[in-house]
A and B are shown apart, each in its own frame.
Chain A
Amino acid sequence: MKKYYLGIDLGSTTSKSVIINEKDEIVGRGITNTRANYKIAADIAREEAIYDARFTLLEEKIGESQGKRPELKKYMEDLKNVFKYGQFKRRMDSLEKMLIQTVENFSHPNKADILEKLKIIIEKIRPQIHHEFIYEMLGTKNQFFRDIVSEKYNGEVSNIGSEFYEPLILAFDKSITPTENEMVSYNFKELVIESIKILDEKYQGLADTQGNNNKEDWYYAELNTTKDNYETLAYTLRQHIEAIADEEIPIANMVGTGYGRALLPFPEDCIKSEILCHAFGAHAVFPNTRTVLDIGGQDTKAIQVDSYGLVTSFHMNDRCAAGCGRYLGYIADEFGLSLNELGPEALSATRETTICSTCTVFAGSEVKELLNNGEERPNILAGLHKAIVQRAMSLIARSGGVKNEFTFTGGVARNQAILKYVKDMVANTYGNLTMNIHTDSIFMGALGAAMFARRNIQVNLPKAQKSEVREPVE
């Protein structure tokens, strides 16, 4: 009987979960945005990790019977993407119901018109999202339901007359939170079968030759092999889906960590500090790590570890969003960009605009002013990215500097512009040393938690014994 261990890192912005096997290998990862109901956030992250684990098992099974051919990887990636669309569609349905209900409860005199406009918007969004998921791999772009929907919705609202702007935005704000806080369970098998059907249609409709697209040739070569082989793959998939969908994934132990850990519905001895977990996870992936920088949603941590991955000292930012992920998130909102677009645009800058304000909110209005004065957006973004890294560097200095090797984790480590500035500044201050960045950087905390779960380390120290006079035992 296989045993699995689960780690959940409930961050301020995203909730991550990792499932590992008995060899500390990651078999499933899940991520969702943290919402008002922590229990739901943790549950969804766990469910996502379990789906991911099932996909891993599926891939192994097909690999056994079909051989690990390159088109398998592509097909599975496509399948996961379409699977996400299936989940998305179900959430979308409940959001639509909620939106209509919200508007019906409005006391606006022109309620009927608002409702009509709302229905027009919904009709416009649906096919857009379908297309982007199926043909542009939206599901693989690390975006969550809330972000994708609000981006599309706001875009459509802007096209509608200004008199409807406020009520339509308000309707969305009122509806999105309850929709997010409702637990939707999906039937894995049903969704996979549905996804296979959608993929069949997609591959049948593919052109055999490359059109006037500027997609690279290898992509097409891969597509063509997939196109010729998808039927075999789909057939094999259908063979295994039964077994995989019903396979138990027994979680032997779990540990929760992160910002919201105190509110997780876990027993007390299954909760660990995020500092320990981040350090432990980073150290497990890169055993020579001695300094860890973790820039998360709302705190930045500089951690020094010993050769066992245990924390020797650390420093955190103090109750201020300047210098962590939320700073970027806030600015992205001001610009009407998604988080993923910030880094690439900042990299295209010709110079860094100096941002005078420290405070996030002030920086937001300063940035608006700079834009109105004709400052280039990429340069402003570069300035903001540089500011974050400068604050992180001062934290590192206070925690004891950078020792070889240096590992950079947390959600912000996904941002290419941040990476550039971190590399530059670390090299400038501490000389050339090994710098580790892993694609799973954002999951390090959850991985550490899962590893603690496997080691079943008792977190609670032995309680202080009440001094009581005892009878001598004979």
Chain B
Amino acid sequence: MLNRLGKKIIIDKFFFIMKYIIMSTWCLLIFICIGWIFLASLSTTSDIFDGKLLNSGVNFKNYYKAFVNNRVGIYFLNSIIYSSVSVIGLVLLCSPAAYAIARIDFKLNDILKRIFVLAMGVPGIMIVIPLFGIAATLKLINNRFILILVYIAMHIPFTIFFLISFFKNIPHTFEEAATIDGCSPFRAFWNIMFPLASPGIVTVSIFNFISIWNEYFTALIFASKTNLRPLSIGLFSMIQSMKYTNDFSGMFATVIIVLLPTIFIYIILSKKIISNITAGGINE
């Protein structure tokens, strides 16, 4: 008996240590990759190929080059515009709709819900080609508005689907109280239901924000002008241009320039982001 217990303790100990080892290796890899690239971005291309990072000292030349010759600032601004406007638009459009579908019985609830769920399975590219064609006919390409519209359209099904489950879980008593107080349904929604659903709204907004922030294909097609490019496209063209000048250290510097602010913001907000996502997981 004691023997068995001893064995169990050893096995538990083993698993316990294993857990740490696996997790730590995983994280270490991430650290090494980012760390190495950071050091490489401060070295020269020859150093990198010689395998001796920082051999010729720390030089910030690469950063200077990346900043001066590229429009990193504009790319950042564009990304912020596209992501935040789309996210705000999505909230304004989708939360009332999701609320109505979730809580007001008007016969179409089920059909609408099914349509949105099904639409979630349709890849975004299905809408990109014709919208591009239409936008081209209307001479609307290289216009921020159209890109934002495409982003909003692409994310409607998921956002509504996600929010429906949130509105469903809010107790009915709140609404009843509001109606008794003589609140109009609009005020009842904006003043009571909307704040109550805010954890879900924040969560879905985080999801949407990250996905639009990193979106690539649509932006590649719709924003071919340098000044309209978001970060992902700008980064790709910067990296490509570094390759054309055979400038590996410059390429890594560009990667770091793009990474650092994102990581910085993420670390500040990570507790909130992770806990929100965790709390608002998809529990259909």
Answer yes or no: are A and B bound together in one complex: no
Interface residues of chain A, those whose CB is within 8 Å of chain B, are: none
